[in-house]
């Protein structure tokens, strides 16, 4: 049985080791490395990598420009389709998108390193602040964007580019959403998320209103009355509960909240971390909190998921990243109980399997893992009550907003995108595409009307 003496403290590792652990996960390519990598591209007709990219970046096109040392032109090719191409170069699961589709991806060869080439092209633009886009003549139309994450900022930038005035309402102290608060620190270093936000805002015509929460400071109807159109990109604000007795005990934490604290910390060594950490979940958040706990100095980190590796939300690459960082991934088990009195001391799990019809069932075989900290990473949900008055005809399904192919909702003047819509997949690149599509449709309808 686990003991009842929690071991949670800061400074488990020295400053040098912490700095190494939270350095750049994938260091940028040098010029010679980039030219060699670009030369590996076959520049396919109807390139499968471009088809696999949710934002439709002309990948052979931007790689060809790298070959000719036209870095500014390469960046323009990327950012005109994905204004967050710099962030996506760091966090996009290229291993299951463009790089998986690369024709060089085989048993004999590795795919072209598209993500690193994309970073090579875009980083100088954010560093230098080069203006690649300009606002069109003003239209006199005003659009409200709710949410300062990838979907909202992508929508705002495209609308501003098309000549509209945009007001972005966001709840956090800084804009950026999950790019700022929810991504592992070793994937995004040197305050890059805010550099990208600053670049997006530099086009002009975008006003930020921070600390503004829908359902508290305003309703959807108030925005509809005050603006020509509304875009909703609020993400998923509520963390799913385990539904187990004792969940309120000290030491049972939200992975999302801890990652946000970590991302905003000026001294990672100051963050308290348990000696024994248990993470419950199988998605990217679960991987991120598990790896970061290990890199902060946790002695033992167990990540437990109720199904197999193919069903995990995290890609194979991310699963392997966790394992190579010393995380123990235990599959086919679900939490059955939390142990402890005022502070959690462990978690009891029950092994699972699939029945003959492919449904998950418990086997009755139980085991216990000791824990000083238990992180919940079993997904998030949207609180539909935040919309308030005027949302009676906003159609939802499975707790998400229903939209058409242009991201328009059931309301004539409201569009939505990102994780809050049905079909959202928790990817920055998908949210960016939603925002872009919505902006184009908003512009079309406003001009038509």
Tens of pLDDT, residue by residue over 53-73, are 999 999 999 999 999 999 999
pLDDT at 238: 85
Positive or negative, the CA dihedral 278, 184, 248, 385 is: negative
Cα 3 → chain centroid: 36
Buried b (16+ CB within 10 A) or exposed e, 123-159: bebbeeeeebbebeeeeebbbbbbbbbbbbbbbbbbb
Model confidence at 166: pLDDT above 90: yes
Q: Which two tokens stand for residue 319?
A: 């699963």
What domains are defined for the chain? 31-128 (1.10.1060.10), 142-237+382-448 (3.50.50.60), 239-376 (3.50.50.60)
pLDDT of 384: 87
Consecutive H or E run containing 416: strand 414-416
pLDDT at 389 over 80: no
Assess whether pLDDT exceeds 60 at residue 353.
Answer: yes
- Which range, of 4-8, 336-340, 346-350, 354-358, averages the lowest pLDDT? 4-8
The overall pTM is greater than 0.85: yes
- For residue 165, give the 3-state DSSP assignment: strand
DSSP for 64-119, written as a single string:
HHHHTT-HHHHHHHHHTT-TTHHHHHHHS-GGGTHHHH-TT-SSS-PPP-HHHHHH
- At residue 388, the pLDDT reads 82
Dihedral sign for Cα atoms in the order 401, 422, 316, 105 = negative
Place of tokens 């449709």: 441
pLDDT at position 86 over 60: yes
pLDDT at position 134 is 95
C-alpha dihedral over 243, 249, 251, 255, to 10 degrees?
30
Q: How far apart are CA 368 and CA 349, in angstroms?
A: 6
Looking at residues 4-30, what average pLDDT do you find?
A: 94
What is the pLDDT at residue 214?
Answer: 94
Question: How would you class 213 by CB atoms within 10 Å of its CB: exposed for 0-12, middle for 13-18, buried for 19 or more?
Answer: middle
What pLDDT does residue 316 have? 93
Residue 2 pLDDT > 60: no
pLDDT at 1 over 70: no
pLDDT one-digit tens code per residue, 293-335: 999 999 999 999 999 999 999 999 999 999 999 999 999 999 9
CB atoms within 10 A of CB 404: 11
pLDDT band, residue 3 (cuts 50/70/90) = low
**Number of Cβ atoms within 10 Å of the Cβ of 106:** 9
Residue 423 is predicted with a pLDDT of 87
Tokens 């348990």 sit at which residue? Answer: 274
What's the rounded mean pLDDT across residues 271-275?
Answer: 97
Tell me the average pLDDT across 205-220: 95
What's the confidence (pLDDT) of residue 233? 97
């Amino acid at each position: 049985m686990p003991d009842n003496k929690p071991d949670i403290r800061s400074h488990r590792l020295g400053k040098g080791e912490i700095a190494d652990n939270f350095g750049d996960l994938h260091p940028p390519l040098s010029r010679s490395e980039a030219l060699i990598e670009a030369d590996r591209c076959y520049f396919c007709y109807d390139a499968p990598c471009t088809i696999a990219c949710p934002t439709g970046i002309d990948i052979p096109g931007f790689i060809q420009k790298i070959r000719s040392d036209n870095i500014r032109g390469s960046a323009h090719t990327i950012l005109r389709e994905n204004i967050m191409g710099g962030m996506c170069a760091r966090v996009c699961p290229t291993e299951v998108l463009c790089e998986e589709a690369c024709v060089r991806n085989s048993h004999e060869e590795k795919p072209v390193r598209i993500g690193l080439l994309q970073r090579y092209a875009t980083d100088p633009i954010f560093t230098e602040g080069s203006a690649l886009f300009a606002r069109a003549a003003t239209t006199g139309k005003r659009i409200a964007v709710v949410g300062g994450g990838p979907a909202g900022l992508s929508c705002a930038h495209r609308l501003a580019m098309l000549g509209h005035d945009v007001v972005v309402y966001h709840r956090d102290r800084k804009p950026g959403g999950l790019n700022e608060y929810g991504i592992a620190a070793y994937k995004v270093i040197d305050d890059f998320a805010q550099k990208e936000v600053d670049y997006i805002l530099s086009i002009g015509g975008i006003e930020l209103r921070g600390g503004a929460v829908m359902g508290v400071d305003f309703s959807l109807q108030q925005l509809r009355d005050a603006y020509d159109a509304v875009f909703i990109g609020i993400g998923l604000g509520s963390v799913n509960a385990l539904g187990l007795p004792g969940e309120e005990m000290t030491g049972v934490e939200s992975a999302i909240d801890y990652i946000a604290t970590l991302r905003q910390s000026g001294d990672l060594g100051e963050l308290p971390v348990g000696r024994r950490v248990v993470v419950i979940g199988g998605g990217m958040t679960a991987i991120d909190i598990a790896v970061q706990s290990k890199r902060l100095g946790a002695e033992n980190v167990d990540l437990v998921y109720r199904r197999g590796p193919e069903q995990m939300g995290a890609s194979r690459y991310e699963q392997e990243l966790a394992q190579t960082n010393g995380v123990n991934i235990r599959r086919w088990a679900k939490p059955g109980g939390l142990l402890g009195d005022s502070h959690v001391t462990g978690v009891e799990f029950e092994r699972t399997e699939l029945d003959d019809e492919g449904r998950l069932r418990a086997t009755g075989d139980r085991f216990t893992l000791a824990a000083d900290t238990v992180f919940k990473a079993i997904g998030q949900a949207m609180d539909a009550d935040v919309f308030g008055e005027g949302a009676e005809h906003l159609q939802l399904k499975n707790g998400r907003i229903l939209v058409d192919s242009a991201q328009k909702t059931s309301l004539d003047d409201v569009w939505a995108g990102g994780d809050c819509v049905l079909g959202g997949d928790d990817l920055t690149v998908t949210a960016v595409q939603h925002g872009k599509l919505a902006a184009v449709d908003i512009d079309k309808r406003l001009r038509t009307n």
